[in-house]
Structure 1
């Protein structure tokens, strides 16, 4: 069995922002900017473990 991230999002830019998985500000986390490194096709938010997958 494979463990998949609870929340994933496909993106078209190496720079993404994350503020948590909820629309309710009290349930999220501070907005952070993340950059997908060259040579990788994803990055994981250090706060909520949301995975951003690069699709060019």
Structure 2
């Protein structure tokens, strides 16, 4: 059995919300702050990686 890589989402805001994306398959909504230094943040629930558009291809 293989494990799928977490989803990577490119966003235009530095503060974003993640709810896991699916009603029964989701998780509680959490607000995440993307640091200006690194340009990305990972959701502590679903491991989705959010990358700011300014850092696309770098993070």
| TM-score scaled by length of structure 2 | 0.76
Gaps of 5+ in 2: 55-59
The count of corresponding residues between Structure 1 and Structure 2 is 51
Equivalent in the alignment of 1:41: 39
Q: CA RMSD in A?
A: 1.6
Instruction: Tell me by how many angstroms 1:27 deviates.
Output: 1.2
Equivalent in the alignment of 1:26: 24
Equivalent in the alignment of 1:7: 7
CA distance in 2, matches of 1:21, 1:5: 16
Runs of 4+ with >3 A deviation = none
Contact 1:21 1:48 in 2 (8 A): no
